[in-house]
């Protein structure tokens, strides 16, 4: 059996998901949706998939068994609310949404679903980070007083319209602070 994926948002992260799925047995990308013609064309070629300018048209086409949402952070809430009406399994890139209110609306909508919604890229579950948390909890280094982690990429990657440079579109700083708080509780 082959699982058919639809990708909503085909910029850097959407195309990264396509590359990974292209290497997985039993997975194929059958549809991509992006309002930007250049990104949409790149992703459609990379995936060999049908391309849609409007993600709602893609959702209605019945071409996917599962969805990946990799659109800009500030679009996650409306896209998720529409996608959750399909009851397909959904993987959404972090953060879930750009505001607390949008997260609450998505969580309420998700409570009525049978199919799961996952938030991608939770570093705490990666083996090196899980080991770090385990060692800190075990007291290996003594009492942790400060931790600094440098991200492995430049802070402002090229994005269509430079949306990632503005807090109102990314959800910063609240979701970064929430991630720090949840790590403290981990």
99 within 8 A of 171, measured Cβ to Cβ: yes
Residues of the chain with CATH 3.40.50.720: 3-119
Say whether pLDDT at 9 is over 60: yes
Residues in Cβ contact with 9 at an 8 Å cutoff, skipping those fewer than 6 apart: 33, 34, 69, 70, 71, 72, 75, 79, 93
Q: pLDDT tens digit string along 103-161? A: 899 999 999 899 999 998 766 677 888 888 899 889 998 888 887 766 555 555 565 56
Say whether pLDDT at 95 is over 50: yes
4 within 8 A of 63, measured Cβ to Cβ: yes
- The DSSP letter of residue 36 is S
Q: pLDDT tens digit string along 163-182? A: 555 555 555 544 444 443 33
pLDDT for 110 equals 92
Residue in 66, 57, 56 with CA at minimum distance from that of residue 87 = 66
CA atoms within 13 A on the CB side of 73: 25
What dotted CATH number matches 3-119? 3.40.50.720
Tell whether the torsion through CA atoms of 71, 73, 76 and 79 is positive or negative.
Answer: negative
Number of residues that make up the chain: 186
């Amino acid at each position: 059996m082959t699982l058919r994926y639809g990708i909503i948002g085909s910029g850097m992260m959407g195309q990264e998901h396509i590359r990974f799925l292209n290497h997985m047995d039993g997975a194929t990308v059958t549809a991509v949706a992006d309002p930007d013609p250049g990104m949409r064309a790149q992703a459609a070629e990379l995936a060999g998939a049908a391309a849609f300018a409007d993600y709602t048209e893609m959702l209605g086409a019945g071409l996917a068994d599962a969805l990946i949402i990799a659109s800009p952070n500030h679009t996650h809430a409306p896209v998720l609310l529409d996608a959750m009406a399909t009851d397909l399994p959904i993987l959404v890139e972090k953060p879930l949404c750009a505001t607390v209110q949008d997260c609450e609306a998505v969580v309420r909508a998700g409570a009525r679903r049978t199919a799961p919604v996952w938030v991608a890229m939770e570093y705490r579950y990666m083996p090196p980070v899980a080991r770090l948390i385990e060692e800190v909890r075990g007291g290996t280094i003594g009492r942790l007083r400060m931790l600094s982690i440098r991200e492995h990429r430049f802070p402002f990657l090229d994005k269509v319209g430079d949306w990632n440079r503005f807090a109102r579109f990314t959800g910063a700083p609240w979701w970064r602070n929430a991630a720090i708080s949840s790590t403290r509780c981990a």
